[in-house]
Amino acid sequence: MTTAAMTTAASAADPSEGSWLTALADWTVSLMDTIGPIGAGAAIALENLFPPLPSEVILPMAGLAASRGGFTLFEALFWTTAGSVVGAFVLYGIGAWLGARRLKYIADKMPLLHPEDIDRTIAWFHKHGGKAVFFGRMLPIFRSLISIPAGIARMPLWRFGLLTLAGSLIWNSIFVLAGFFLGESWHVVEAYADVLQYIVIIAAVVGVAWFIYVRVRALLAARDASGTDVV
């Protein structure tokens, strides 16, 4: 498959040529044209480290390349999933480096946080972390960030790796196969992914807003009870 043909397919994903999504698709195409399916894996590894990069654009390009004979479907799935796992382990390492002690220190300096919040979060992760890592790999934005608390909680590496591999393989397969079977019409799947992303963003905003509301209300109640300012 030629670069020109792939670029045409990438441009079809967004009618407004020159958009950043089109530029991203073109860059992914160029990378795969240069180093083959390893390029798709590298792009997905970067997507894990920088969540604003949408895998919903990168993955179908790998599937489309496979359908045109650039490389095999197995190679597309193998390398994109390998990229997901590598990127996840990098973020896991960042979380492990931060650790509970550093986060508690930071929380102690933040106006609405308490060190106990870190303990509760880690305790929750020890109990539900397996489900969070597996299903989190199939949620936009969250799929990258979930690796950090896994590192903070020091989830066993083998367990983190297997759960990340399984969840990533499911997510990657959906979009790689969309590019493989739908060809230049792969972008119809992107609309459904966008809806899921909006749901995740709205849920996160509502969660943060509720947390702030509860903490501010508790601070005001404590101040009224003591008659002094509570920091």
CA pair distance 103, 154, nearest whole angstrom: 14
CA pair distance 68, 40, nearest whole angstrom: 15
Segments making up each domain of the chain, as ranges = 3-186
H helices present in the chain, as ranges: 3-12, 20-35, 37-49, 55-67, 73-109, 115-136, 142-145, 147-152, 157-182, 188-226
Which parts of the chain register pLDDT below 70? 1-22, 24-25, 51-52, 184-194, 196-197, 200, 211, 213, 215, 219, 222, 224, 226-231
Q: In this predicted structure, what is the pLDDT of residue 4? A: 46
The answer to whether 58 and 49 are in contact (CB under 8 A) is no
Q: In this predicted structure, what is the pLDDT of residue 54? A: 75
Q: In this predicted structure, what is the pLDDT of residue 3? A: 46
Please, what is the Cα angle at 95 between 80 and 135, to 5 degrees? 50
What residues have CB less than 8 Å from 82, skipping those under 6 apart? 41
DSSP 4-44: HHHHHHHHHT-SSTT-HHHHHHHHHHHHHHHHTHHHHHHHH
| Phi–psi pair at 22, nearest 5 degrees | -65, -40
- CA dihedral defined by 24, 29, 31, 34, rounded to 10 degrees? -160
Structure tokens at 203: 């849920």
**Residue 45 CA neighbour count, 13 Å, CB half:** 15
CA pair distance 155, 115, nearest whole angstrom: 20
CA pair distance 79, 60, nearest whole angstrom: 13
